[in-house]
Chains A and B, each alone.
Chain A
Amino acid sequence: MSQATAKKNGVWATIWEYMTTVDHKKIAILYLIAGGFFFVLGGIEAMLIRIQLAVPNNDFLSAGLFNEVITMHGTTMIFLAAMPLLFAFMNATVPLQIGARDVAFPFLNSLGVWLFIFGGIFLNLSWFLGGAPDAGWTSYASLSIASPGHGVDFYALGLQVSGAGTLISGINFVTTIITMRAPGMTYMRMPLMTWTTLVAGVLIVFAFPPLTVGLFLLIFDRMFGSNFFIVEAGGNTIIWEHLFWIFGHPEVYILILPAFGIFSEIFSTFARKRLFGYSAMVFATVLIGFFGFMVWAHHMFTVGLGPTANAIFALATMAIAVPTGIKIFNWIFTIWGGSIEFTTPMLYALAFIPSFVMGGVTGIMQAVAPADYQYHDSYFIVAHFHYVIVGGVVFALLAGLHYYWPLMFATMLSEKLGKITFWLFFIGFHMTFLIQHFLGLWGMPRRVFTYLDGQGYNAANMISSLGAGLMALGVIVLVINIIITVAKNQKVGRDPWGDGRTLEWSLPLPVPYYNFAQIPLVRGLDAFWIEKKEGNGEMLPAESLDDFHMPNNSIIPFVMSLGLFVASFGALYFASGKEWAIDAVADLPVRPWAFWVLVIGLAITFISMITRSFKDDLGYYVTKEEVLRDLEEQERGAK
């Protein structure tokens, strides 16, 4: 079935294949392309911010446009770049690491990616349809209810749609890891990437519903005349802050935990050592996930919760430093005495330790509630979270891109260009954000579109902007690297790094669409490494060669997501010019068609759901003959 489509070589056949695919490897590529696109978009927005702030009294961007750019930079980078790119690597590696032929719900996997893509497109269409959201990525209700025009509506609806996709993918990964591990793959033999994905999945399951609720309340307030956050009518804007941060803090860990997973794999591969303190690492991962839910109010110390509440959340926040410290020391001990190979991924991993520790230490400084009153809303905060997110998550994404590229595309990115990217990005990163700590301590508030001359901010801001330029150069070199690699298309064989330890590297490249001809037997942690050292370098099969079952492709997830995309436009324009609408949209022209667009969009989604429920789609069998043929071909290729 998927063989038949793969044989047609037309561009349209390929596009159709990707639109309907339920294969986790192809979905990983979709996540990578879409996430990469949004990453570049968010990066361009970052460059606009730094150009505006490079010199005092600049008028490169107007104040209003600056607000839109910072809002979209934050929102795009967190929701549309970092998280999808992590999902790309989770999709590419996790089923292979646990010895599964696909995820537990391949249909939902496809639904997740399409919801994210349509949500992301919807959010970014705001640039062309009357202005982007401008209430900051946190979109505090006191600001977002007052924000004129439809900008914040795009934010609320776009995130609702893409958030649904994330929630679905989170559930999918939790189920996959719990139920689909190969024989012998016990919990305490799972690679760290799988463990961190599991914990991040659990965090998604618990953290996204509060965001969904918050966004729905905002949607109702802005588009359907309710009063949850409208103070004059008895609403309370603090509720939004709580709901947002109950989601927002775990979100930070949803991002950083898979990053820890990627680095753990890289450290043990290129130090050629078993990960030091594996069980402590697992324990620390779970503990970070649990603590992550108990600290949200540390973003709200200055709201006036009172000293007792502040003290409780301050202590809980400091407690997270303990498991994180355990992880840092275990990584250092993993490298210690290892035979280290300085590949591009390893460079990122080595740079990650000091960079991330710097971000962590400033985090502990802010956990001290009285001190936080000084840091709050200053550039110190901006420096802190960029150290954590760029120094942690983005380094992991770039490292993971180089490390897992052969697994995803069966080619290798150029090491030479990779190292140039690394040095440009690494130096640029520290140049941009280190100085911002001092800017904050000198009193520069965040989210200001310009500053006056003679306040002592000039030189530091210029250094910061130059650093951002270096980072942009680094990304440009990376893009050139990718283009060259794709154009050359020099295929590599199995275990291209030579030191692969986990199951995914035991597969032939490109990975067959069914992953494993026979489900492997796992004999311990670092399953492939054990077979290399103690066996003949081949995984032992846990089942005899036989027909096995695979799911069919489906266009329904695409149509379902398209329906919600259409419905979002209906909801967006529903309140335009209505007399009961909030002031922000009350003087816009009335759109009588909005209601019908909403109905049609929802109808498309519900009809496709009904179709999915009533149409029996039992998948197909891959025959033993086909698998045997593939195995023979690999044998010939190897000789």
Chain B
Amino acid sequence: MAELEAKSMTDTQLRNLRRQRTKEMRLQLTGFSFMIFLTFMAFGMVALDFNATFIMGIVMLFAFIQVVLQFYYFMHMKDKGHEFAKLFMVVGMFFAIAFCVTFIYIVWIGQPI
């Protein structure tokens, strides 16, 4: 449970914290604008009537980059103390992919392999 009264910090500590937060903020904003840019690119390609297969590949790539950015920058996976969360997500994805592959091959396509 959180302490109800916080201890006051020294000036140096406060300055360090501010600097850290500014840096964090800059990273967040850069990541955010990059993601907006990727989204614009995706919409732009569709609007400009590029080859459909080409768009599909590129958009999938963009989506993957966005997911990674989302996890690492906005959901703090890059920070310390997130090892367990990372482990859980990777293992969970591994299981989910295994399940999906089974469902697609065995249930959906329905051919015994």
Contact = CB atoms under 8 A, between A and B. Distances in A.
B99 A551 contact: no
Contact of B4 (A297, A305, A618): A618
Interface string B72-92: 000000000000100010011
Given A206-B92, A239-B103, A305-B106, A619 B1 contact: yes
Nearest to B94: A293
Contacts of A239: 103, 107
Size class of the contact patch on chain A: 20 to 34
Contacts of A551: 1
Given A210-B99, A308-B113, A178 B1 contact: no
B95 A293 contact: yes
B50 to A, nearest CB: 35
Chain B interface size, under 10 / 10 to 19 / 20 to 34 / 35 or more: 10 to 19
B92 A238 contact: no
Chain B binding surface, main DSSP class: helix
A362 interface: no
B111 interface: yes
B102 interface: yes
A549 interface: yes
B33 to A, nearest CB: 34
Contacts of A309: 102, 105-106, 112-113
Nearest to A548: B1
Interface in B1-15: 1, 4
Given A306-B112, A551-B1, A242 B107 contact: yes
Contacts of A242: 99, 102-103, 106-107
B43 to A, nearest CB: 33
A306 B102 contact: no
- Among B4, B88, B91, B106, the most chain A Cβ lie within 10 Å of the Cβ of B106
Contacts of B111: 306
Contacts of B95: 206, 293
B103 to A, nearest CB: 7
Interface string A274-306: 000000000000000010011001000000111
A246 B99 contact: yes
A458 interface: no
A277 to B, nearest CB: 24
A309 B101 CA distance: 12
B87 to A, nearest CB: 9
Interface in A218-246: 236, 238-239, 242, 246
A39 B112 CA distance: 41
Contacts of B91: 206, 290
Contacts of A549: 1
B98 interface: yes
Contacts of B102: 242, 297, 309
Contacts of B107: 236, 238-239, 242
Contact of A305 (B1, B88, B99, B113): B113
Nearest to B92: A206
A202 B90 CA distance: 13
A154 B88 CA distance: 33
B108 to A, nearest CB: 9
B99 A306 contact: no
A304 B1 CA distance: 53
Interface in A304-345: 304-309
A217 B92 CA distance: 22
Nearest to A551: B1
A137 to B, nearest CB: 22
Contacts of A304: 112
Nearest to B106: A305
B113 A306 contact: yes
B7 to A, nearest CB: 15
A308 B113 CA distance: 5
Interface in A569-623: 618-619
Interface of B: 1, 4, 84, 88, 91-92, 95, 98-99, 102-103, 105-107, 111-113
The 4 closest A-B pairs by CB, nearest first: A306-B112, A306-B113, A549-B1, A308-B113
24 contacts: A178-B84, A205-B88, A206-B95, A210-B99, A236-B107, A238-B106, A239-B103, A239-B107, A242-B99, A242-B103, A242-B106, A242-B107, A246-B99, A293-B98, A294-B98, A304-B112, A306-B106, A306-B113, A307-B112, A308-B113, A309-B102, A551-B1, A618-B4, A619-B1
Given A242-B103, A309-B102, 11 more contacts: A210-B99, A238-B107, A242-B107, A246-B99, A290-B91, A305-B106, A305-B113, A306-B112, A549-B1, A618-B4, A619-B1
